[in-house]
């Protein structure tokens, strides 16, 4: 094996440098053939320790930090061996490294630069072999957020040629990382020294490009390996490092841009100016999170933390607003009902929007009132959403929870982002759980906006420990249709309610009809829910109009229980189509058991749903259900019961299922329930009542969620 000069540029990394030198001189076969030059850029961590421990090393000390390229050139001028190993101080050279690399280069005289496989301190292969950088490299670089979240995206796979390697076979590449590269003497003499316009970063890409332009090959050589503890020097002066990184990107673009590309320079400058503050902020957060880690901590596995069995698990529960609906009932049961000897729950909620029914009365008799964040609202507002984020972050710091469990999309987004940054900056790992009560992926917004929300949820899911779906159907939808997360990360936990008021509402019969001014001979069809587009009340009234016109012998009243932004429009529509005499808008009503006690048919016409609470309550009250096939409705109504499907609806085991936005089929389904054999209707309601009684009890929900919380803490503490 021929001799080789080793050149290491050091800046405040002497602790790591000593370990690096030890790994070099521990290789008995290479020890006598290497000469090491350390060029120190005015370090303040006692670089003289190198001469004390390794007197054979030539140490050159600069009076100030002249940058990586200039310091390395100083070492290159001192070198004379046929081969040169350029090495970062925060690396460890594996046994046999020099022998394998130099043997390969001697067998392949057309190879000018070789870069080995580089492992991070965590053992993960770093993307040290690359293609020529492009503008997209700034966003899909080796350590960029987009690459971490989407490691197999086409831009990254084109850029990080390491991903194409089989881990064994050498491959020709555009450039290799200057953290560790071996260069033959002829390249240095023919291509020249590094370009000192690069203070630090990207000088390796430029040098490899110049080398290839002279006909030499640059090769990624995975049989040889080093370990690289990234960022030890640059982290000492994060702001300067980031500025120099972006200056070097600009210089690389300027140096190789053609006459047809020069007009892009203002855009490149603007893009880099926007990127630099973002990178600086994320770097500061990362450093803050790790500022207490020593050299030993970096190289050892984190200590196992055992969660004390005698301490209650603290749960911070977040919901966007306590408006009328299933999510509010759900969080009330969980907040009030979990075992107080094992769990301590703090509930945080946002502000109710105008025209929404308020269910905060559920907590009137509760020992602890919800914390209300007025900035956390249904409407999207960058200013208010940022304020809500900051308020949530303050609450996280004050409460220091073990688990944050979020409900509904808005609270799930703001809270999980806050927990993400809280975990980055703190020593404690807060677990994240998010429940999808429904979703906003269909029926709420246009195609582009819906897709944006899908991608947001996919990103959030990557940082979420567990996702809860309220039905098996919803779980399948989240995993397969929208690909929010892998199935193993999603747990189906059915809703739970105190159904006794509905199971025992027989004594209330007649009261609701009296408030409407109708007798027992009038067919009463009720629809319960918010008056918003996703509930599709317009379709309900179209179907109602068809039913009235086609069944003139039936006296019918449609009771609309609920309120919302569409009330005036819906009232006007009923008047327009001549249905006003058959419709009563009841607004929000607290005494829903009374409503169901007098209802003959419950209707639901939604475009999108989670698990509709109104159907569960109706089934518990023995009320027949006619519903569109939205979200978790099919899970409630059950499979087809064998009666041939016709006229646009299907008779299921526990109700009637219709197509979405099909008012003709819905009207026929209503007529079917009115005119069919009463034994069939009683069979539907009997099976429905038995099903919800067994499936949706509050006790079952509490048992399931308590087990989930305990499992999550057990998995997170001491089961890494």
CATH code of the domain in which 371 resides: 3.40.50.2000
Question: CA 155, 157, 160 angle in degrees (round to 5)?
Answer: 105
- Mean pLDDT over residues 155-162, rounded? 68
- Rounded CA gap, 305 and 586, in Å? 55
Q: Is 654 inside any structural domain? A: yes
Token pair belonging to 115:
């870069």
Is the domain of 558 the same as that of 469?
A: no
HEC string of 166-227?
Answer: CCCCCEECCEECCCEEEEEHHHHHHHCCCCCCCCCCCHHHHHHHHHHHCCCEEEEEEEEEEE
Q: Is 329 inside any structural domain? A: yes
Say if strands 111-120 and 180-184 run parallel, antiparallel, or are unpaired: antiparallel
Q: Is 585 inside any structural domain? A: yes
For helices 265-290 and 238-256, angle between their N-to-C axes, nearest 10 degrees: 150
DSSP 3-state of 6: strand
For residue 362, the model assigns a pLDDT of: 83
Is the domain of 672 the same as that of 578?
A: yes
Nearest to 596 by CA among 691, 501, 496: 501
Residues above pLDDT 90, as percent of the chain: 52
Residues above pLDDT 70, as percent of the chain: 82
For residue 53, the model assigns a pLDDT of: 93
Is the domain of 482 the same as that of 537?
A: no
Q: Is 274 inside any structural domain? A: no
Is the domain of 57 the same as that of 199?
A: yes
For residue 547, the model assigns a pLDDT of: 97
Is the domain of 317 the same as that of 447?
A: yes
Last residue of a domain, which of 183, 214, 233? 233
Is the domain of 88 the same as that of 175?
A: yes
For residue 47, the model assigns a pLDDT of: 93
- Mean pLDDT over residues 42-52, rounded? 91
Q: Is the pLDDT of residue 530 over 70?
A: yes
Mean pLDDT of the chain: 84
pTM of the model: 0.52
Burial class (CB in 10 A: 0-12, 13-18, 19+), 699: exposed
Q: Which string of DSSP letters, residue by residue, matches 624-671?
A: -EEEE--TTHHHHH-SB-SSPPBTTEEEBSSSEEE-TT-HHHHHHHHH
φ/ψ bin of 704: left (φ > 0), alpha (ψ from -120 to 50), beta (otherwise): alpha
Q: Is 714 inside any structural domain? A: no
For residue 45, the model assigns a pLDDT of: 87
Is the domain of 461 the same as that of 604?
A: no
Q: Which string of DSSP letters, residue by residue, matches 224-278?
A: EEEEE-TTTTGGGGHHHHHHHHHHHHHHHHHHH--TTTGGGHHHHHHHHHHHHHH
For residue 666, the model assigns a pLDDT of: 96
Is the domain of 522 the same as that of 416?
A: no
For residue 197, the model assigns a pLDDT of: 86
* Number of separate domains in the chain: 3
CATH of the domain at 187: 3.90.550.10
Q: Is 561 inside any structural domain? A: yes
Q: Bridge partners of 697? A: 497
- Rounded CA gap, 369 and 376, in Å? 17
Q: Is 716 inside any structural domain? A: no
For residue 304, the model assigns a pLDDT of: 38
Give the pLDDT band of residue 299 (cuts 50, 70, 90). very low
For residue 235, the model assigns a pLDDT of: 46
Q: Is the pLDDT of residue 508 over 90?
A: yes
Q: Which string of DSSP letters, residue by residue, matches 291-328?
A: TT--HHHHHSPPPP-PPPTTSPEEEEEEES--BSSHHH
Last residue of a domain, which of 179, 200, 233? 233
Give per-residue pLDDT as tens, 312-365.
899 999 999 888 777 888 899 999 999 999 999 999 999 887 767 788 888 877
- Mean pLDDT over residues 76-104, rounded? 91
Is the domain of 480 the same as that of 539?
A: no
Give per-residue pLDDT as tens, 428-440.
689 999 999 877 7
Q: Is the pLDDT of residue 716 over 50?
A: no
For residue 435, the model assigns a pLDDT of: 95
Token pair belonging to 599:
């209802």
Nearest to 228 by CA among 189, 303, 177: 177
Q: Is 504 inside any structural domain? A: no
CB of 40 closer than 8 Å to CB of 61: yes
Is the domain of 66 the same as that of 23?
A: yes
Domain residues for the domain of 114 are: 4-233
For residue 717, the model assigns a pLDDT of: 38
Give per-residue pLDDT as tens, 600-629.
999 999 998 878 999 999 999 999 999 999
Give per-residue pLDDT as tens, 629-648.
988 899 899 988 766 666 78
Give per-residue pLDDT as tens, 94-146.
888 888 899 999 999 999 999 999 988 767 788 788 888 765 555 555 555 55
HEC string of 354-420?
Answer: CCCCECHHHHCCCCCCCEECCCCCCCCCHHHHHHHHHHHHHHHHHHCCCEEEEECHHHHHHHHHHHH
For residue 527, the model assigns a pLDDT of: 97
Give the pLDDT band of residue 526 (cuts 50, 70, 90). very high
Nearest to 503 by CA among 702, 697, 699: 697
Is the domain of 487 the same as that of 529?
A: no
Give the pLDDT band of residue 276 (cuts 50, 70, 90). low
Q: Which string of DSSP letters, residue by residue, matches 72-139?
A: HHHHHHH--SSEEEEE-TTEEEPTTHHHHHHHHHHH-TTEEEEEEEEEETTSPBP--EEPPP-GGGGT
For residue 273, the model assigns a pLDDT of: 61
For residue 324, the model assigns a pLDDT of: 78
Is the domain of 227 the same as that of 338?
A: no
CB of 499 closer than 8 Å to CB of 697: yes
């Amino acid at each position: 094996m021929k001799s080789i000069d080793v050149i290491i540029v050091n800046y405040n990394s002497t602790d790591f440098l000593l370990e690096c030198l030890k790994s070099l001189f521990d290789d008995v076969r290479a020890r006598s053939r290497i000469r090491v030059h350390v060029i120190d850029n005015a370090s303040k961590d006692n670089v003289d320790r190198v001469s004390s421990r390794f007197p054979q090393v030539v140490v050159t000390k600069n009076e100030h930090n002249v940058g990586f390229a200039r310091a390395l050139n100083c070492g290159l001028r001192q070198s004379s061996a046929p081969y040169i190993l350029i090495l970062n101080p925060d690396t460890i050279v594996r046994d046999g490294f020099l022998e394998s690399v130099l043997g390969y280069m001697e067998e392949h005289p057309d190879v000018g630069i070789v870069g080995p496989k580089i492992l991070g301190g965590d053992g993960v292969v770093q993307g040290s072999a690359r293609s020529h950088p492009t503008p997209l490299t700034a966003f899909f670089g080796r350590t960029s957020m987009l690459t971490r979240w989407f490691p197999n995206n086409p831009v990254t796979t084109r850029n990080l040629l390491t991903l194409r390697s089989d881990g064994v076979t050498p491959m020709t590449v555009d450039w290799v990382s200057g953290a560790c590269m071996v260069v033959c003497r002829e390249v240095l003499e023919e291509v020249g020294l590094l370009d000192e316009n690069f203070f630090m970063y990207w000088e390796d890409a430029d040098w490899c490009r110049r080398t290839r332009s002279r006909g030499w090959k640059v090769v990624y050589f995975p049989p040889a390996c080093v370990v690289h503890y990234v960022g030890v020097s640059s982290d000492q002066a994060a702001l300067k490092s980031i500025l120099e990184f972006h200056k070097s990107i600009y210089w690389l673009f300027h140096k190789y841009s053609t006459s047809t590309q020069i007009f892009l320079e203002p855009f490149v400058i603007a893009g880099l100016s926007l990127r630099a503050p973002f990178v600086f902020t994320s770097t500061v957060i990362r450093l803050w999170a790790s500022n207490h880690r020593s050299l030993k901590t970096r190289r050892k596995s984190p200590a196992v933390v055992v969660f004390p069995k005698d301490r209650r698990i603290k749960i911070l529960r977040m919901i966007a607003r306590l408006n009328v609906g299933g999510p509010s009932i759900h969080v009330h049961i969980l907040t009030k009902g979990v075992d107080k000897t094992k769990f301590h729950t703090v509930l945080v909620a946002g502000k109710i929007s105008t025209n929404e029914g308020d269910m905060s009365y559920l907590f009137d008799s509760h020992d602890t009132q919800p914390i209300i964040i007025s900035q956390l609202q249904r409407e999207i507002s960058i200013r208010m959403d940022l304020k809500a984020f900051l308020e949530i972050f303050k609450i996280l710091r004050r409460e220091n929870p073990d688990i944050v469990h979020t409900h509904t999309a808005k609270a799930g987004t703001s809270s999980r982002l806050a927990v993400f940054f809280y975990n980055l900056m703190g020593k404690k790992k807060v677990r994240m759980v998010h429940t999808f009560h429904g979703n906003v992926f269909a029926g709420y917004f246009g195609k582009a906006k819906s897709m944006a929300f899908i991608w947001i949820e996919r990103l959030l899911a990557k940082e979420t420990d567990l996702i809860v779906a309220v039905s098996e159907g919803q779980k399948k939808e989240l995993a397969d249709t929208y690909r929010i997360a892998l199935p193993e990360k999603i747990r189906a936990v059915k809703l739970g309610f105190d159904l006794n008021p509905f199971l025992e509402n027989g004594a209330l019969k007649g009261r609701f009809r009296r408030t409407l001014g109708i007798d027992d001979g009038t067919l009463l069809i009720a629809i319960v829910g918010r008056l918003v587009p996703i509930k599709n009340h317009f379709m309900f009234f179209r179907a109602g109009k068809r039913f009235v016109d086609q069944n003139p012998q039936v006296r019918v009243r449609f009771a609309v229980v609920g309120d919302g932004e569409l009330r005036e429009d819906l009232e006007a529509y009923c008047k327009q189509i001549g249905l006003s005499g058959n419709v009563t808008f009841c607004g929000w009503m607290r005494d829903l058991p009374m409503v169901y006690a007098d209802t003959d048919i419950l209707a639901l016409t939604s475009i999108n749903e989670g698990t509709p609470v109104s159907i569960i309550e109706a089934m518990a009250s023995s009320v027949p259900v006619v519903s569109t096939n939205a979200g978790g409705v099919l899970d409630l109504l059950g499979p087809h019961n064998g009666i041939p499907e016709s006229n646009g609806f299907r008779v299921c085991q526990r109700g009637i299922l219709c197509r979405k936005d099909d008012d003709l089929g819905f009207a026929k389904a209503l007529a079917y329930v009115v005119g069919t054999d009463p034994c069939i209707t009683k069979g539907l309601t009997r099976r429905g009542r038995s099903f919800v009684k067994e499936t949706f009890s509050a006790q079952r929900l509490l048992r399931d969620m308590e087990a989930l919380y305990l499992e999550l803490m057990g998995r997170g503490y001491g089961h890494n």
